[in-house]
Structure 1
Amino acid sequence: MEGKVHPDCINASNPYHECVDYCFRKIAEAKARSEESEKLKNQEEPGERTVHPDCINASNPYHECSEFCFKQIADAKDQIRKEEPGMGEADGDPSSLNVSNDTKDHPEQQEDQGEERGGADDYPHMNEKQKKLFELRLKMNEARKANQMAIVAEKKKMEAPTEPRGISKQKWLEERKKKIGKLLDSNGLDMSKAYMLDTEETAEVKYKKWEKDPAPYGWDVFNQKTLYNAHKKRTKNIKVDMEAYNKGKEADPEFYRDASSLQYGKVSKVSEENIDLMVKELQEKEAKRKSFSRRRRFHEEKDIDSINDRNEHFNKKIERAFGKYTLEIKNNLERGTALPD
């Protein structure tokens, strides 16, 4: 059974669709909108653009005159009337022409003036004096615009592009060395006297770093000296009870066993109090180890390159090892300068 479908319905191609009141209402609204747009279009056709015939941008089909244009036309006419008796002065000194500074506030007008510069055929509604005056103004505007573009281009060449991920360590060190060199030259010093530029606070921080014991290297973690230092660190807070020690020594004749002792492997009885102290020390050590590997602060502005906490920890280790080598590559990829043109 074929359904009732209006030919103007947007679902007319659907064989299972049947138009309802909603469809007819939408079709009527669409027709009303199209009729209104046609009426507006017909009304706008006689006066599609508002362009003064004396405007310098009258030949631009996309230009519509504003208050700025009418003001410029009126100023130009007033100036031409004033210069009617002595046009030779204007010809001899083009810089004396009153080029309006309003073009700074209206850069779009300045661009239109530069683009619409041409021969005498571009100004059919002007006399020779007006044409020459406007051509001189356009030349000055073009020269000003070219100078500004040259300044911007030179500034871009002088300033290095900003790094999206931060500057590399090598570049930072080079820039810091240059700044220190300039300060030393201004004070009549060389690089060997760079420490004289340090403040008191900076010098104290350096001295504290020098006073600290160096951390053991990977191959020194389990040598005898390091293990002995760790043992001293763990036993420095133990309280020795000499009275209990002497009693135990008197009660057991083999408190200090020699090589020929037959009680090898036998352990003297330890008091419950000492066992509790040992358990407490082990618990404190475990708590200290947990607090050492604390959760680091999360930086929202940092790029997210992990899928879970474990992967994030792994990426941090990789970054510590290879980050300084891959930083330049990442920056080049983001700037689009990694591959040649």
Structure 2
Amino acid sequence: MSDTEETSSDQQQQQQPSSAANLLKNAERMEAMNARIRLLAQKRNDSRRANKADVVEEDRKIKNPRHQIEEMKKEWELKDLEERQRCEEEGVDFERAKAMRTSVEEVRKRDVLLKRKKNPNKDALITGDYETMSLRQNERLTRNIKPDFNEYKRMKEALGEEQFYPGSNTIADGHHYPTTSALDRLATTVLDMQKTREKVHRRRMFDPDQEVTYINEKNRVFNKKLDQFYGKYTEDLREDLERGTAL
């Protein structure tokens, strides 16, 4: 064997351990990289789940704004309870301490809210939102209605499907007559509304010296409105009619 062959064999023997060490290092590096990738993937999934939970919670708050109000109310009640306990420990009157910390603006806002809660129709009268008043009245009237399903079925059988569920082409021939109980309920409701209206509307003082130009209360109100808007234009004509000099 020549010297060249011996040298090459020695180099191969030296390269074999070094190549094995390199493979081991590469394997360790790949394992560390895979572990890092798995960790990043886990963090990404956790972040995705957290973002989805936040989006769902925000959507729930938007669809149910009362939830946020309830949360604020719970926080306020907890804070109020802690303050009450602290005042009891210190021997201080809680209501007095609370009144001393409350500003005038907060008291005014609270009074306005209480008045608005007692008379919700007042805001509708101020803003002209009569639709809200009508809806509230309809809910109040329908709340007391107790449906009679036996009468419902009997009337449905007597009239038939076409007359009981009329459409745009159905001719109403007067077969549907309300029951006596329904008529009594309607009459009672109308009388109650009249009594309520008489209590709410303030009666004007009667002036005996004023000229009587009306036949009943509604006619008096109507004449007053006419005089309010057209009185200044018809004043001369009315005076001429009274004197008999009108043409």
TM range (shorter): 0.3 to 0.5
Higher relative contact order (CA 8 A, sep 6+): 1
| TM score, norm. by length of structure 2 | 0.33
Q: Which has the higher helix share?
A: 2
